[in-house]
Structure formats: C-alpha cells, structure tokens
Amino acid sequence: MESQIKRYREYRRTMDEAPDALQRFLAPFMERLTEKSLSNAVELMNEAERAELDRLLGVVDDGGRHGVPACAGSVQERPFRA
C-alpha cells in the first residue's frame, strides 16, 4: 500500500508541475521566433525535442483523468505565456 501512495504522490507532483515544465521547455524556442506559436516552435525542434513536447502535452492534457496514463495526441495550437 505504501508503494501505491508513493506512486500516486509522484503522479500528482508530475501533474501539478506539468504546465510550468511545458512553459520552461518551450521558452528557448519561443525566444527565437518573431511569430510565437506552437507550430512555429515545433519546426525548430529535432526529433528528441518533439518527443519531449509530446510527452509534456500528454501530461498537461491528462487534466481531470486522474489515474489514467497520459496519451500523447496531436500537437494543437496553444497560446504561449511569456
């Protein structure tokens, strides 16, 4: 039971930190762009960076589905907070 609680706490921490982690990840790409959009940032990324973006978006998109593994969906336009 203790290991389940530990896993759940780690899951919650990941969920709580995901929006900020996504912003930190995107910041260097957005700094290089005059027109700041997710699709423009993606064009600057290599394959590993796109995989990390997909992972972060999947965690952020998990939203209210607590306990359900995040699924990386298609990349959609999202506003960037500077």
- Per-residue pLDDT of 20-37, as tens digits, reads 999 999 999 999 999 999
State how many domains the chain has: 1
Answer whether residue 57 shows pLDDT above 50.
yes
Judged on CB neighbours under 10 Å (0-12, 13-18, 19+), 57 is: buried
69 occurs within a structural domain: no
Domain coverage including residue 48:
2-62
pLDDT over 90 percentage in the chain: 40
Contact between 59 and 70 (Cβ < 8 Å): yes
Query: Using CA atoms, how far apart are residues 15 and 59, in angstroms rounded to an integer?
Result: 6
80 occurs within a structural domain: no
What's this model's pTM, rounded to 2 decimal places?
0.65
Contact between 81 and 46 (Cβ < 8 Å): no
Q: Which two tokens stand for residue 58?
A: 């999947």
